[in-house]
Amino acid sequence: MTAYRQFLSKAFACVFPTLFLATSLAVADAATLQLRTNQQVIEDLTRQEPEIDMTNVDAVFAAVFEALPEKAVVYPTESYYYFTFPYKGIVYAGNIRFDAWDQFDGKVHFAYFPEYAFWRKPLDPSYKKLGKEDGVYVKQIDKLHYTVTFKGKTVAFELPDLSKTKPAPGVVRDDETYIGPIWDESGVKFDLVFNKPSKTFLYVLNDAPKIDQYEDATIPGVTVGHRTSFAFYKDKLADRRILIGVFMGNTQLNNYFDGPFDQLPDNFIEGDALRDALIEVEPSMKGKMDRYGSDPSGEVRYAITTYMYYGDVEDLKPIVDCAAKETDAPKYYACFDAKQPGEDGPEQGDGKGDASDKEATAAPEPTKAEPAPTEKKKTK
């Protein structure tokens, strides 16, 4: 299902109680096991800390920027550079973002907030769009390379070039449109495909390189990632695996595994392919959205969440049952557009994976520091 999502410069909330800074995959030492120890956790929490006013966005940005490496690689395709850090017993999550929608305006988005927890509602994020008036100088070298200079320090940000990443032969059917490559913050890569006859978006697994191990579920044709909890269905009409489920607990915790809806292939969409597909789904939006699926203000964006948020793998059974019985291709692929109770098509289950309303299907919880539905991108 697709629905509008409110935008906010999003921050990853996960329990890594150290400042989490991306390092290039190319420089990883394959001969050394990368240990994360409890010793590091405790020492990071108990070490002497600088005095930072956490209510002052400029002060927090200065502290984060000082800790950044001189070169940063931004892997997720909506260009979020995620980090976490502990401060006075609280682990904060945040990001620096180069938004494709406004990436040429010489500014950068910055957001942070206390990490999410099951026992309380998400706390409001702190956010500011920073530019030269704040002493932050952003220079675009090209659409995949930026430098940010602040207080005499310059950090080079690199976005991986996926322009030559194409689906494997047979992955995209003749009656489908390839929208672009996705590199999710989970590390998993997808091919975003639009099936035109069924008017359904599909997140197709691109398992190269293989970064998860998949276990057969109790439901035939379904495999679930050990690390990500992403659930895939083996397509019976093409040689590919389609994402059909994201574990709801990950969405509620706003962690790396909350699904790829917020990592669309912004820098690699060719022409109006995404907008044209969205208008096929919602003809009434013609003339009301840009090529990224945003409204003219950039405050609201169409969310592509055709997979289900599940609490138990059995919640995915309606999708699989629908796909198993359908022989007509358009009806078959329509099975992968997860519906809410009361709508036509495969429904959410009645168990833990059930969501309460239509908007919840698109974004069941504020994700990556996204605002509540009434908040807007420019005020986050």
On the question of a cis peptide bond just before residue 86, with omega within 30 degrees of 0, the verdict is no
Report pLDDT for 147: 97
Q: How far apart are CA 6 and CA 8, in angstroms?
A: 7
Q: To the nearest whole number, what is the mean pLDDT of the chain? A: 84
Report pLDDT for 234: 97
Structure tokens at 372: 């509540």
> Which amino acid is present at 367?
T
Report pLDDT for 166: 92
Strand partners, 262: none
Q: How confident is the model at residue 291 (pLDDT cuts 50, 70, 90)?
A: very high
Q: Are 134 and 114 in contact (CB under 8 A)?
A: no
Report pLDDT for 23: 43
Q: How far apart are CA 247 and CA 251, in angstroms?
A: 7
Residue 217 reports pLDDT greater than 90: yes
Give per-residue pLDDT as tens, 182-215.
Answer: 999 999 999 999 999 999 999 999 998 888 999 9
Residue ranges of the alpha helices (H) in 181-334? 248-253, 273-281, 317-325, 329-334
> Which amino acid is present at 166?
K
Could you give the dihedral angle defined by the CA atoms of residues 227, 228, 231 and 232, in that order, rounded to the nearest 10 degrees? -90
Residues 145-164 have a mean pLDDT of 96
The radius of gyration computed from the CA coordinates of the chain, to the nearest angstrom, equals: 21
DSSP codes joined into one string, 267-292: GG--TTHHHHHHHHH-GGGTTSS-TT
Residues 301-310 have a mean pLDDT of 93
Q: How far apart are CA 246 and CA 301, in angstroms?
A: 20
Closest residue by Cα to residue 127 from 94, 80, 103, 79? 94
Element (H, E) at 13: none
Non-local (6+) Cβ contacts of 74 within 8 A are 22, 80, 81, 98, 157, 158, 159, 160
Q: How far apart are CA 21 and CA 256, in angstroms?
A: 14
Residue predicted with more confidence, 34 or 225: 225
Residue 239 reports pLDDT greater than 60: yes
Reduce the DSSP state of residue 245 to 3 states and report it: strand
Q: How confident is the model at residue 83 (pLDDT cuts 50, 70, 90)?
A: very high
Residue 275 reports pLDDT greater than 50: yes
Residue 90 reports pLDDT greater than 70: yes
Q: How confident is the model at residue 296 (pLDDT cuts 50, 70, 90)?
A: confident
Report pLDDT for 203: 98
Structure tokens at 293: 């699926």
Structure tokens at 71: 């070169």
Closest residue by Cα to residue 243 from 294, 200, 291? 200
Residue predicted with more confidence, 290 or 23: 290
Structure tokens at 63: 């502290």
Residue predicted with more confidence, 227 or 351: 227
> Quick one: what percent of the chain has pLDDT higher than 70?
81
Report pLDDT for 29: 59
Report pLDDT for 297: 77
Report pLDDT for 1: 60
> Quick one: what percent of the chain has pLDDT higher than 90?
70
Structure tokens at 215: 């276990």
Please tell me the least confidently modeled range out of 226-235, 262-271, 294-303. Answer: 294-303
Q: How confident is the model at residue 2 (pLDDT cuts 50, 70, 90)?
A: low
Closest residue by Cα to residue 129 from 379, 359, 363, 337? 379
